[in-house]
Chain A
């Protein structure tokens, strides 16, 4: 860190890069990468890291080995993951590592030079990059996640870090930066898909004594965690992008509004900000230019609506996070009444590379109207869960079947939900449509922040709609009536239907109410809250009808609509009758038992405890 105190210039930046790379490429140098994202830590990566370090500490003469905590590589099912990287050798990926395995890896592989093949994926000695999961991916946003130590600024610099900022402040005028962003066609990845360059161009000409750049890291969509992964795995990319944005619109101050539920991300951001200040990459006269910029962190306190720009601004101002009418747009009157630009984490993560490599490079991926890549959090009923970054224009089928390797346990695919509580369900018939912002809207869903939850035949779509409404009712800020009261009424109707008390007219009621809420709500939360209802009503009308007319739940999820029965092959072991919490099951030993349907609360205990499969539900 001797260079830290010296004045930072482009040359020092490049010499740090050269030094780090030279060290990494030295013969015999061994880098051990340990996946330490939240997912890795939950799976036990801290203990693995400690075991690796303990083994290394015992060998005081070994100097060529570095153990590096890094972000999430995206393939969460294999955590804890440990990768060994040596110049000129094949990368070795160990999965499901335990402290015991870690010790063995150190002894046999690191000190002994002999990779422990049985601990690699399926014991096949294959790396993550050779998995189907990675074949159709293109890593731009996630390029450093899982590759560098997020708490070491020099590692970020070694991968061209801060050179985009250097190019912007030393070679380009602010209007040139905005022009490049416009040419790149980058659209906001937080949900709406508004072109970032255009957004910046709205804020730039507004004259004010202070302007702000805000990073929206209030990732609230249930089922989406790409922003967390970027913040945890590559925090400097966000700082660099915010500084570039600040230069472009003339802001000297930035805020990162991040969820308090992401403690690892917060801590890494704090470290990153501190390091960037030390090196003069944040603060006064960045890289010797006239541009000064600094960043502070504000913790969100748990409110989904704060993903909406005006609500987020209210929250940073220390108020209840309630949205307001637009215009005036934040670009004109934002934080404390000053011109403000708000960009989401994934959007920002693209920016340093766009500035460095140019708009044409970025347009090399994706489609004409939605250039670049999109990160999706693939989850639910799918074989390979995790984070995937794919070029726009790829089909849903490719993501679900080629990357995610399909549905587990031989079950049938039912729908994929995108866009979280604001989005909708996409069915089999639309799986061939190329994914981009406009196509998803056309088929009744939306990009949202990139949650992609796969559902199989065992998921009830009425129940799923009710689940999302449960969420929006809870998270509505309460300011405007259509959202506050409307979502509550929608939820009541759905509740009624899943309780078996729905009537056929309810379906029309749902549709009318949903259209009204969409048309009249104040902000994006209310305007999109009915989407899960409308899209399930459209694609799964049969299922709604079965609930209200036959009083049946075809997916066997809605409990009040189920019937439990004991088949004739019951052996009379009496277990179910003893376990039944309401004593609804009677029968003599070794005789077929019977469930009293009047007493049965449909808790399903009997079905779980029966060892002979003699209990059925329908």
Chain B
């Protein structure tokens, strides 16, 4: 699965991808409810990690009376949806007011510099994608960033950032080693 796509600007989900089956089962379970477009896109994103146009086309064929245009309109309107592939780990820096006044912008800049990455982008090695998010609701721990589900609080000192990221590189190296050991 990890190597299914080498081009990070294009999606490469095969039409026979087993996740389509899961998505179909979900659609069937909510089909009789009203207003399910957003719910279906949310489920698709949960399964695939993002909702590229080809998945949207598939959904449009699956749902009656919903055009790709409508789905595309929804997926580009709401900030939750990603149309391009995401990094292995998602970094979200909170730019809510409480974090901003306590220096969250410096965290974003440090990450950009360290990973050579734009906000909304994905790093060359596909390890991280960087997002600036709305308030995460942990204002008393400001400034805050999240990597996947882990919260890193009170990041006054941006020098901690390389150290935090190293943890994920190390984890990934260990995984690789384990895999190659298994292969051997």
Contact = CB atoms under 8 A, between A and B. Distances in A.
A336 interface: yes
A303 B75 CA distance: 11
A206 B139 CA distance: 42
Interface in B126-177: 133-142, 144, 151, 153
Contact of A228 (B39, B78, B137, B141): B137
Given A302-B134, A379-B140, A222 B95 contact: yes
Interface residues of B, number: 36
A39 B101 contact: no
Interface string B71-91: 001100111110000000000
A517 to B, nearest CB: 21
Interface stretch (A101-109, A278-286, A310-318): A310-318
Contacts of B141: 39, 42-43, 76
Contact of A467 (B74, B79, B97, B135): B97
Contacts of B79: 301-303
B65 to A, nearest CB: 12
A315 B38 contact: yes
A417 B136 CA distance: 18
A223 B135 CA distance: 6
B138 A223 contact: no
Given A380-B98, A455-B101, A385 B140 contact: yes
Interface string A31-59: 00000001101110000000000000000
Contacts of A336: 34-35
Nearest to B98: A379
B98 A260 contact: no
B101 A464 contact: yes
B42 interface: yes
Interface in A230-289: 260-262
A405 to B, nearest CB: 13
Given A76-B141, A261-B134, A316 B98 contact: no
Interface string A302-324: 11100000000001111111000
Contacts of B77: 303, 320-321, 477
A464 B134 CA distance: 15
A267 to B, nearest CB: 13
B139 A225 contact: yes
Interface in B13-60: 34-39, 41-42
B8 interface: no
Given A417-B97, A453-B98, A318 B38 contact: yes
22 contacts: A38-B136, A39-B137, A39-B140, A222-B100, A223-B98, A225-B135, A260-B42, A261-B134, A261-B136, A261-B137, A301-B80, A302-B78, A303-B79, A336-B35, A377-B139, A379-B98, A379-B140, A380-B101, A380-B102, A381-B102, A385-B139, A467-B100
6 A-B pairs with least C-beta separation: A76-B140, A222-B96, A301-B78, A318-B35, A379-B98, A302-B79
